[in-house]
Structure 1
């Protein structure tokens, strides 16, 4: 099995499979999947694929087109989760949450809602224990962004404040990973 990070074509493949087999209860895009996997590798307790794989699909396995399609999805998923684990454990600058980009009133805006929603899904699947106050606040930083409705940005959005909030997510995720790793 390959160990290098996924490339654009790999992410497109994952995205296509997620959209093809997803529903309202499943992970629907690679941003959400990236957040989900980041939480799993940051968990104070290791999470088995038998627990996290069905959670991608809302508890139901997809009706795969073929065994090869299922195998491809699993292989790409495992490669990505392993890459995230390696990047975070090494403190690598290569780790960057997979956020979406859009434009709002002529300004570039980074959207993190789906990544954060995926992260919270991963926290739930990993069944994180209550966290100490500092780590609980870091998790709240992520949760606050997951609660925003970024599908339609308000006309009067304070872009600078929004981007400032998004900028807090990566350091929070790194610190939560470091804490989780210290608890294993």
Structure 2
């Protein structure tokens, strides 16, 4: 995956909200991860024994239960934007683990119980367990050597642990102590595998690379569903894009999009936007679509296609020059559509 030069920049609060809203929207199936489960999942992937590529983790983000159901993006630009936010979230966690371990803290949900705030550990722990399961065999030696590091993770992240929780009534104070143990366990595990990888490289070897989504048996036996989302059929098309913003029929919309090499980023007056130029597949008869995405993920799509990708880029640059970059981040002229 080619990463944006800004992929190391921490997510802003606004960008985090964009990602959170997308993962809880009808654009993904009801088994998609939320941002808390995603944090646990990415933490395990980062801490683990081998190098796991984005192509192996993204299917589990979109569908934490089966890794088969893909999201529906309004456009190729939106797909790149959301995927970029996930990669930067990954980098945020990685930087905390490696450079600021004292600041590493799982972002847990809370709920009220008898007038007290109770931490919910389930989603983060389940995400961590799913991260382990991508490369379960390689994790086994550590699971056997230091089971105490995994006690809380397995208690709140697996079906067997959930059954044990049902039989116990942990106090608010105990749950807070469990949350503290999560951070300590993650740091211990990360340090262990870093040392193992260092030893491996000293011997002239390198960790394995996992570049395709594996589909191990779901050992957690749990999944977090959102009842307010539309259910998806198990055999639903796995094509990546649903470009309904272009007025295509559902059948026609499920064609992959070809991005122009002229797609670029533009910065003016301290504001940066992404200029995306694309068409359906390799067929240029329908012309090139121009879309500009602002820092908050809002896209502006030109209603009429362009005969060439060069013409689309020229239109984008001319619009920004003539009307200012605010014209593609706030209100838009009549020949454009805001999404």
Structure 1 length-normalised TM? 0.86
**Structure 1: runs of 5+ lacking an equivalent:** none
Worse-matched range after superposition: 31-40 or 131-140? 131-140
Tell whether 2:41 aligns with 1:36: yes
**Structure 2: runs of 5+ lacking an equivalent:** 198-339
Tell whether 2:155 aligns with 1:144: yes
Shift of 1:68: 1.6
Aligned mate of 1:174, from 187, 197, 202: 187
Shift of 1:137: 2.6
Aligned pair in 2 of structure 1 residues 126, 9: CA closer, same or farther (>3 Å)? farther
SS in 1 for 2:102: coil
Contact kept, 8 Å, 2:28 with 2:72, in 1: the verdict is no
Shift of 1:139: 2.1
Structure with greater helix share of residues: 1
Structure with greater strand share of residues: 2
Structure 2 length-normalised TM? 0.49
Match of 2:88 in 1: 79
Match of 1:112 in 2: 121
**Aligned-partner Cα distance in 2 for 1:171–1:142:** 11
SS in 2 for 1:129: helix
| CA displacement 1:23-66 (0-9 Å, x = unmatched) | 34331x11011111101100110101111111212223212111
Highest CA radius of gyration, 1 or 2? Answer: 2
**Aligned-partner Cα distance in 2 for 1:36–1:135:** 20
**Aligned-partner Cα distance in 1 for 2:22–2:36:** 14
Tell whether 2:141 aligns with 1:131: yes
Worse-matched range after superposition: 11-20 or 57-66? 57-66
Shift of 1:91: 4.5
Aligned mate of 1:93, from 102, 106, 112: 102
CA-atom RMSD in angstroms: 2.2
Aligned pair in 2 of structure 1 residues 82, 145: CA closer, same or farther (>3 Å)? same
